[in-house]
Structure 1
């Protein structure tokens, strides 16, 4: 029990390396402590339990923002939010537990082998966390390295590969703490070489900045937006749309930016178009209602619309990766009678779209769209057959408290790094911003601040290795780590076999 509680505390400390605290050395120290705890585990069961405790501590603290979402749903008590955080964390901790168990089982009592296998297992289990049961890849371990030069590793091996690199760095700390100077020093040299290769192999953005862009953050909270009928938000959008320069601009508004059914009421689309400059285009979040043959509403789409000054709808993207309990209620027939409901207003479940899609914008190039939560799914944000020039991520983080928005923004930066594409975000209450093709923040608006960002569209970089190969790359890295561990085991066993032959 003592080791289990210590691992829970180490997991909580590791969560402090994620946004908004960004104390990234604590993440590495926390993982290093977990490896130390695994070394002394007397059995596989004990190793699994220690890994599970580490994951429990990390997820409960890191995902505390989920509890805030329950305060916006009057049908459910706010305290239920913390129960949801703990229950979700109990499940998510299974993945660190699996990585810990694999490392303990196959280390053969050797510390360096345990580090190598642990890093490979973390890559695989973190990927599984992102795809199992609709997936929840929030706060991957690698995001803790976002503020370091090591972050460029994501351009080669993706976010899950970056998480494996973080595990290796933590493993180096563990080896040095155990006075394994040779193994720890050798691992440090190998990690430095990998970071250097990533720095040399990551393509830089090419070309000049593109057309003018205006990102709008209206700073209207979740409860205000619906109680006041979108009035404050629409007024601020209208004021922000005034074009005083005459230069064509691309205006970007958040998820659920307008309350109108634009395809069903063209007059509303024309009204919004009339606010734009003569050559402007608008990308805004909105909804589309799906109806049956009798005209009855059967479902909804969380969409992003392209609108020109004449009010014409030039394109639409439908969100593909939906949030369970947020945009639809699983097992509705069972849960609704006992008082459970979605965390956002409305009774219609949202239907998923077909997946990543690129839209052509006259005068502004090609845009790939990812609405809100979708941006956290590594390798699933771009139509690789029709690569865009940039990604637009309209979002609504207004119900995610103080910790959710900066964590969301950090993961959008990872997508820019991976794909070599700039990412532009517009949210109602922040964080909105402009991220270049190397994941650097060029401009941003803080949480709960009204404002606009006037900038030019950053240029894309040539496709990165990850952009070409996708999530095969982290598995390649994991395989290389396993091969290294197997080679190390073979070298260690060779003298023993020779002595056996002499005997």
Structure 2
């Protein structure tokens, strides 16, 4: 069992490769250790167990921010958060287990074959992790490289392809340790080639001047829904929004306005929603627009609430609605409560306030804001972590707005979220702009580079010009996750072929 413990410790150490620690070399080294452990496994079951222990260690440490979310829900004890982290990690670790099992099955007799099959299987199982049971692709191996220029490789092979490459780098380190240096040379050379290929797909300067102001009011989750705090929140938003400008796009966070901005109930509810929109739009000049997170509610009988949507509103002067996007990929237990009759009966509730579950929207959408901003793609909060699912391909945007409320997620969650938004920008060749209540708000260019940002737990605003999108969609934007999946299968097939030839 000591090898299982070593695998768990290697996985736990690898969590520090991700933000906020960002010690990215730890991840390839951890994969090198995993390769050695899989090589020593005596059976398929032991190989699966080693991969599962590695994943368990990485997820329990890396997802510690989930426990923080439970501290804001008085209806549930804080210790339940750590139980949730462990239970979720037990499930998520199944995917690294599958990758390790495939590597053992086809590479146990040949080290090069083991590395190739582990890299390919890791890419495919990460994709599965982001797809099965609504998906939770948080912290793919590629996210560890977000602070580096290697992130631009995702324009060619996607996030899951880059994750497989990280595994190959770890395997190459292991092979070098085993005195098989040629694979290290080949993998490094391939990485360098991929890094150079997408370098010129983005123009140097924006094609037009598109001014934005991103607001970060530093409103913590402990205050956001507190009775009577809405006036203070409005004051902070107004103060940071500045004076009305000329052709200025104002960007506010998710649920910046906690009262409904649309309500189909006649009388006071409908009038109050219109008042909320007009009050927010009073900060706009004649040619300005506002993108803000807000809530829509509706009723079938005109009295009782039957549904709600977590939305992004595009508002023009006077509070006129230019467009609305409803979040499609909702957070289980956060925005809706699965098996509500059963769980409500035992006293559990969703983490976000309210008794009505949110209803999901139809998926990625672009809204045309007119000149000079053009089309904006909209992704709410953690929707941005889903590789290949953030852009309306029939109506490609010139930039993506990703408002979020990361105030739930302690110190580790916000920088990890930002790293994954950077992956989406590089994959799609489209800049991403984030506005959050407590940070980290940011402007990300189409290569995934951080242009401007506001630190965590800071009140402030960013004035910026929207960076340009790629001149043409990069390969990943055109073909999506078919690229990393195909790459993964090719690596597995190559590993099987190498193993058989050597035997």
TM-score, normalization: structure 1? Answer: 0.95
Deviation of 1:294 (Å): 4.1
Measured against aligned partners, the alpha-carbon deviations of 1:23-77 in whole angstroms (never above 9, x if no partner) come to 0011111111001100000111111111000000000000000000000000111
The residue aligned with 2:5 is 5
How far, CA to CA, are the matches of 2:240 and 2:286 in structure 1?
15
479, 482, 485: which one aligns with 1:472: 482
How far, CA to CA, are the matches of 2:192 and 2:368 in structure 1?
41
The residue aligned with 2:307 is 299
The residue aligned with 2:432 is 423
How far, CA to CA, are the matches of 1:243 and 1:333 in structure 2?
49
The residue aligned with 2:266 is none
Question: What SS does structure 2 have at the residue aligned with 1:310?
Answer: helix
CA contact (8 A) 1:15 1:59 kept: yes
The residue aligned with 2:218 is 219
How far, CA to CA, are the matches of 1:267 and 1:119 in structure 2?
55
Question: What SS does structure 2 have at the residue aligned with 1:259?
Answer: coil
399, 406, 424: which one aligns with 1:397: 406
CA contact (8 A) 2:202 2:446 kept: no
Deviation of 1:479 (Å): 2.7
How far, CA to CA, are the matches of 1:423 and 1:196 in structure 2?
22
Counting only pairs closer than 5 Å after superposition, residues 54-93 of structure 1 correspond to structure 2 as: 54-93=54-93
Measured against aligned partners, the alpha-carbon deviations of 1:107-136 in whole angstroms (never above 9, x if no partner) come to 151001110000110011100100111100
How far, CA to CA, are the matches of 1:188 and 1:281 in structure 2?
47
Measured against aligned partners, the alpha-carbon deviations of 1:424-469 in whole angstroms (never above 9, x if no partner) come to 0000000001000000111000011000000111111121110111
Deviation of 1:488 (Å): 2.3
CA contact (8 A) 2:225 2:258 kept: no
CA contact (8 A) 2:328 2:361 kept: yes
Measured against aligned partners, the alpha-carbon deviations of 1:295-314 in whole angstroms (never above 9, x if no partner) come to 42111100000111121111
How far, CA to CA, are the matches of 2:389 and 2:33 in structure 1?
33
Q: Is 1:447 matched up with 2:441?
A: no
Larger deviation, residues 274-283 vs 38-47: 274-283
CA contact (8 A) 1:203 1:464 kept: no
Alignment CA distance shift 1:187-1:262 (3 Å): closer
How far, CA to CA, are the matches of 1:195 and 1:275 in structure 2?
44
How far, CA to CA, are the matches of 1:153 and 1:380 in structure 2?
18
Deviation of 1:173 (Å): 0.6
Deviation of 1:198 (Å): 4.7
Unaligned regions of 5+ residues in structure 1, if any? 494-503
Measured against aligned partners, the alpha-carbon deviations of 1:134-171 in whole angstroms (never above 9, x if no partner) come to 10000001111222332221111111111011111111
The residue aligned with 1:352 is 360
Larger deviation, residues 174-183 vs 98-107: 174-183
Deviation of 1:203 (Å): 4.5
Larger deviation, residues 225-234 vs 366-375: 225-234
The residue aligned with 2:446 is 437
Which structure is richer in relative contact order (CA contacts within 8 A, separation 6 or more)? Answer: 2
Matched length: 491
The residue aligned with 1:459 is 468
TM-score, normalization: structure 2? Answer: 0.95
Measured against aligned partners, the alpha-carbon deviations of 1:297-350 in whole angstroms (never above 9, x if no partner) come to 111100000111121111100000000000000001111111111111111100
How far, CA to CA, are the matches of 2:289 and 2:187 in structure 1?
51
Deviation of 1:90 (Å): 0.5
Unaligned regions of 5+ residues in structure 2, if any? 263-269
